[in-house]
Amino acid sequence: MAGAVDDPVETGAGRRTTRLGPGDPEAASDARARTGRRATAPLALAAGLYGVLAIALWWGAWSTHPSTTTTCACGDASLYYWFLEWQAYALAHGHNLFYSTLAFHPTGINLLSNTGVVGIGVLLAPVTWLFGPTASLNLASTLIPVLSALSMFWLLRRWVSWVPAAFVGGLLYGFSPFVLTGLTSGWLTTLIAVPPLMVACLDDLCAGGRSRPVRTGAILGLLAVVQFFISTELLAVAAITAAIGLVLVGAHAAVVHRAELARRARRVLLGLAVAAGVAGCALAYPIWFALAGPAHFSGLVWPSLRPGYYGLTASDFVRLQSTSAATLAFRRFGGYQGITLHESGYLGAGLLVVLAISLVLWRRDRRLWLFASVGLAAMALSLTDARSATTVWVPWRVLATIPVVQNILPVRFTSMVYLAVAVLLGLVVDHARTSILARGISRPGEGSQRALPRRRRATAAALALAVAAVALAPIASAYRGAFPLTMQPVTLPRWFATVAPRLPPGQVVLTYPAAFGGIQAPMAWQALDRMSFALVGGGGPGSVPQRAGSERPGFTVLAGATFSFGPVNEFPPSAVADVRRAVIGWGTTLVVIPDQPELPAYDTGSHTAAVVALMTAALGTPPHYQARAWVWPVTTAQPPALAVSPGVLAACAGSGNFPTGPVLAVPACVTSAARTTPGPRPGP
């Protein structure tokens, strides 16, 4: 995609090629071994350094107990707990990897329509079997920046002569705000190790190297398959960005290399056709399953939000986001958000200034212009007009009209922004060094690096590292105080830790907080209990009211009572009837409300006492108290709902979140009031 550009001191990745005749097989074998060692040693060293940095970042977990400690078993991380556990559970029990009715019972959940990270879950299944989903989440979160950085390092070694230049580019890419901001929220989809490998394949096809286009195309197709099972969204983002890059390369070739355009176009088209064939054959069924399989999503994934709602503004690339009321509110149910005080697309002024100056200094390097153009295009596509007080046209509006593609979040294009700027930074650092080394050498090949004075080489290295420091300093300062990430023990409500694992098969549990009410922690509870019960509802886009079906009225009542900023302690008879119908319609066998005010805020609802009163009236019977939880068995012969006025329900619940006094005081108050309250009973 970029092609090779000769360096006055060294070329390519700085590797020497030994040409041997056919009569010297031993020498040829030794040369290949030496070349392999020279290529492998820097990769291993880079992997070690990236690994040390990632472990330092996650040290709070690895230095205590990685199977019981992490950033937070809450918020979106709860979803990934569930995804990781489901893959291990499905493999062990022979279930469908793509679909389950253990969440969002009875409709089920389509993992390919969600951010199911099936590929990661399958690979880590042995870890999940042995140590649980917390260990798998910690391991994945530690490896994601390492693998992403190492992939970029390997790509840059094709084009730079200095190993530290490739290391710096990999560092920026793998430990970018896009990756780390996502990981603190548990988003395993921030694994971006595949796109650099795709770029290498495209480079082979476009540069007309010795690799066969059929072989390269097959590898590219397999990489697309791998990316599909990590994140379908990022696969689409990578495909759109690659298309932009190929158009730019083709336009340049049409002007500068018109004579070779036809030959190279045939090679590129053949490789892309093979890639499409391989990916199409492998993904035909998974794509159908994602788009038309059980519990798939149709239309907008988030129907109440306009396409492109989660994107950036131009200033977000250079401005740190301050702590806002919205951020603090999000922490109420999202838990620890260590590095989310700045946008995931933050680049910093230092990096942008370095790249701008470099485009002038080394303007003859076409790779700089190509990746700068691709990066600018990705930046433009990451912008949204949803955060503007006025109507502003952004390129995203074009994609917003395309079905399926319209569900991409514009902010995801920042992954391709970091890919482009990481390549640029690696090339620039390499140029900064070789520009010093090349002084006094009038013709390429006249001198060599080893013949230069040690002081010259040290000065060149220092200058290159200074350029890297200027570029990365703003991003590094944004992480100040966040290393290592704050960790906390993963705790389960007592009922889910002691009673749930011993439940008989076939139990369907409705929790409060309701898993569809913005607090997704019940999905983590279920995963940590090794799927010992089916869960009513869940998190993610399946939790929107538009997908609740005939149970939507009761769904809305419980969701509103789970998380709200105002008091929700008065429920009219219609709400009592709606909740009853929903509980029965979901096939619920147990309703469980933990009575543990000491739990973190993201593990408790906003109106526990009020919902205890509501559920007592809706199910027509008081609960029993077990392992510090109110528990209602639900049967087909459920008693009629209790006729209790909203004022009485509110009075029984009181004004606090958790009731005071005897543990069964609220249910007793409701049942007592129902015996003395005249009027028709609500609901069936």
pLDDT computed for residue 385 by the predictor: 80
Range 15-41 average pLDDT: 51
Buried b (16+ CB within 10 A) or exposed e, 178-204: bbbbbbbbbbbbbbbbbbbbbbbbbbb
Smallest CA-to-CA distance from 249 within 269, 221, 235 is with 269
What is the rounded average pLDDT for all residues in the chain? 88
User: How far is residue 139's CA from residue 55's CA, in Å, rounded to a whole number?
Assistant: 10
Helix and strand numbers (H, E) in the chain are: 25, 9
**Strand, helix or coil at 187?**
coil
Task: Identify residue 124 by its one-letter amino acid code.
Answer: L
Exposed / middle / buried, residue 355 (Cβ in 10 Å: 0-12, 13-18, 19+): buried
Residue 58 pLDDT > 80: yes
Q: Which comes out higher in pLDDT, residue 307 or 50?
A: 50
Q: How confident is the model at residue 189 (pLDDT cuts 50, 70, 90)?
A: very high
Q: How far apart are CA 83 and CA 63, in angstroms?
A: 25
Q: Tokens in use for 157?
A: 């070694």
In terms of DSSP H, where are the helices of 362-448? 366-381, 396-399, 414-437
Contacts of residue 672, defined as CB under 8 A and 6 or more positions apart, other chains included, come to: none
Q: Given a cut of 80, is residue 561 above it in pLDDT?
A: yes
pLDDT value, residue 26: 53
pLDDT greater at residue 637 or residue 259: 637
Dihedral through CA 610, CA 611, CA 613, CA 614, nearest 10? 120
For 21-35, 37-51, 165-179, which range has the lowest pLDDT when averaged over its residues?
21-35
Query: Structure tokens of 414?
Result: 């920042």
Q: CA 563, CA 657: separation in Å to the nearest integer?
A: 12
Three-state SS for 381?
helix
Domains of the chain: which residue ranges? Answer: 39-478, 494-676
Residue 175 has pLDDT above 90, yes or no: yes
pLDDT band at 452 (very low <50, low <70, confident <90, very high): low
Q: Which residues have CB under 8 Å from 398's CB, separation 6+?
A: none
Peptide bond into 106 cis (omega under 30): yes
User: How would you class 470 by CB atoms within 10 Å of its CB: exposed for 0-12, middle for 13-18, buried for 19 or more?
Assistant: middle
- pLDDT bin (cut points 50, 70, 90) of residue 252 is confident
- Say which range, 74-83, 205-214, 402-411, 530-539, has the weakest mean pLDDT: 205-214
Separation between Cα atoms, residue 605 and residue 613, nearest integer Å: 14
Cis-peptide into 513, omega within 30 deg: yes
Per-residue confidence band for 330, with pLDDT thresholds at 50, 70 and 90:
low
- How high is the pLDDT of residue 8? 39
| Distance separating alpha carbons of residues 49 and 36, to the nearest angstrom | 20
Per-residue confidence band for 586, with pLDDT thresholds at 50, 70 and 90: very high
Under DSSP, the state recorded for 413 is G
Give the confidence band of 30 by pLDDT, cuts at 50, 70, 90: low
> What average pLDDT does this structure show over 590-601?
95
Q: How confident is the model at residue 11 (pLDDT cuts 50, 70, 90)?
A: very low
pLDDT tens track for 196-246: 999 999 999 998 767 899 999 999 999 999 999 999 999 999 999 999 999
**Predicted local distance difference test score (pLDDT) of residue 331:** 56
- Cα angle at 73 between 65 and 231, to 5 degrees? 105
Is 9 exposed, middle or buried, given 0-12, 13-18 or 19+ CB atoms closer than 10 A?
buried
Least confident of 6-20, 464-478, 501-515, 562-576: 6-20
Q: What is the pTM of this model?
A: 0.90
Contact 354, 428 (CB under 8 A): yes
Average pLDDT over residues 373-381: 96
Q: Say how far apart CA 342 and CA 334 lie, in whole Å.
A: 16
Strand partners, 259: none
User: Rounded to an integer, what distance in angstroms lies between the CA atom of residue 558 and that of residue 586?
Assistant: 13
